[in-house]
Amino acid sequence: MKKVLFISLAVVFVYATQNLRQKALDKGLRPIPKDFATLKSEVDDKYNPLSIDKIKLGEELFFDKNLSLDRTISCASCHDIKNGGEDGKPTAIGYKKRANPSHLNSPTVLNTAYSKHLFWDGRAKSLRDQAKGPTQATFEMASTPELIESRVKENPKYSREFENIYGEDAITFDNITKAIAAYEKTLVTRSRYDEFLEGDENALTQEEKRGLNLFIDMGCKACHFGPAIGGQKIQKFPLREYNSIIDLTTTFDEKTHQRHFSQMHFNFEMYHLFPFKNIGGFLGKNGTRYFRVPILRNISKTAPYFHNGSVKELREAIQIMGKYQLGLDLTKEQLDALEAFLKSLDGEIVDYNLTKK
């Protein structure tokens, strides 16, 4: 009898796991490709087609400090690909130690191949456009298109590589930023989460699976979707007005998938725009509090959180998002599960063996 019960429970477990995986796929959560051909088919830009030579050139330029005015800063300075794809600072620090005037931190460069909006206000629609901003900003690399072109022309190796890819007179600011963007498109990461989506039922723990189920049912996936789990839309933050006098909160029942009225309390911090210090005064796109939805892959490695880096702990960030985006007071058990799931998204950059091709 015990053996039959054990087999029955195992069948139920497998069925539930398969349902969760299909549920995730149906909601727009997809794995990062294992092979370069598939990646290219998903992220290629008709205005900047990917090629092996262009990607290799872009990698050299990404790490080249000569592109900055004082030759001390490269793209990699603020986007450390070995540490979450950013610099771990509340605000980006650039030329002559200048801080971002709006106290904005550096978003991760990892998995931005799947982004439809770049910068915190989403103003750039492609990586090739995004690359033009930091190179010229006076508080970042502080350079100019003309200076960057002249610096690149100083290197005979670059001249040969550009001519091979683009033809004669190919060292232009546009081509330089296109090459950088091509390299950035290969900076994608895979984790156990991808293996789960591809059919490995044991790739995630029970707690992580519970977190994934909550992530879907609570509505997190409405903004954080796609292979990068974010970066594909802009969204108002906070959705629930932080300066509202009456704060209505609910709880989420995992069995019925319904919200229940929980409490009503008075919020006397009426004049704050965010549920944390409004350092820098940045209000998103056109001052409307619409922000690019962050990428959640490797999120445990990209603290501090939110646009101005005011939140240090991932758990607090989850709690804030639950309350002010979803209107939910998350329980300890729900926070535990969601945090476990988000940590399962930590992965390594995929090696597509491009240097051998």
Strand partners of residue 118: 124
Measure the CA–CA gap between 274 and 237, rounded to whole angstroms.
8
Six-digit token string for 12 = 């139920």
Query: For residue 254, what pLDDT is reported?
Result: 73
* Stretch 136-160: mean pLDDT: 97
| HEC per residue, 295-314 | CCCCHHHCCCECCCCCECCH
For 208, the token pair is 């992580």
- In the chain, count H helices and then E strands: 13, 6
Q: What is the mean pLDDT of residues 129-151?
A: 97
> Per this entry, what is the length of the chain?
357
Active site annotation includes 140: yes
- Kindly report, residue by residue over 112-137, the tens digit of the pLDDT: 999 999 999 999 999 999 999 999 99
As a whole number of angstroms, the distance between CA 320 and CA 106 comes to: 20
132-146, 157-171, 256-270, 280-294: range with lowest mean pLDDT: 256-270
**Pick the catalytic residue: 42, 59, 60, 140?**
140
Which three-class secondary structure state does DSSP give residue 108? coil
Q: How far is CA 52 from CA 109, 185, 259, in A?
A: 19, 12, 50
Give the SS3 label for residue 251: strand
In the chain, the percentage of residues whose pLDDT exceeds 90 is: 83
- The tens digit of pLDDT for each residue in 19-61 reads 999 999 999 999 999 999 999 999 999 999 999 999 999 999 9
Q: In whole angstroms, what is the distance from residue 247 CA to residue 93 CA?
A: 37
Q: Which pLDDT tens digit goes with each residue over 55-97?
A: 999 999 999 999 999 999 999 999 999 999 999 999 999 999 9
| Helix %, strand %, coil % of the chain (to 5) | 40, 10, 45
Q: Which residue has the higher pLDDT, 18 or 342?
A: 342
pLDDT band at 266 (very low <50, low <70, confident <90, very high): very low
Sequential DSSP letters for 167-231: -TT---HHHHHHHHHHHHTT--EE-HHHHHHTT-TTSS-HHHHHHHHHHHHTTGGGTS-TTTTS-
**CB distance 285 to 277 below 8 Å:** no
Per CATH, domain 12-16+189-349 is 1.10.760.10 = yes
* For the chain, domain boundaries: 12-16+189-349, 44-186
With contact defined as beta carbons under 8 Å apart, do 236 and 290 qualify?
A: yes
Query: Into which CATH architecture does domain 44-186 fall?
Result: Orthogonal Bundle (1.10)
In whole angstroms, give the CA distance from residue 29 to residue 341.
Answer: 13
Judge contact between 330 and 318, C-beta under 8 A: yes
Backbone angles phi, psi at 183, to 5 degrees: -65, -45
Q: Phi and psi of 56, rounded to 5°?
A: -65, -40
Q: Read off the pLDDT band of 265 (50, 70, 90).
A: very low
Tokens of 314: 């991932």
Name the percent of the chain lying above pLDDT 70. Answer: 87
Domains 12-16+189-349 and 44-186 are alike in CATH topology = yes
| pLDDT band (50, 70, 90) for residue 245 | very low
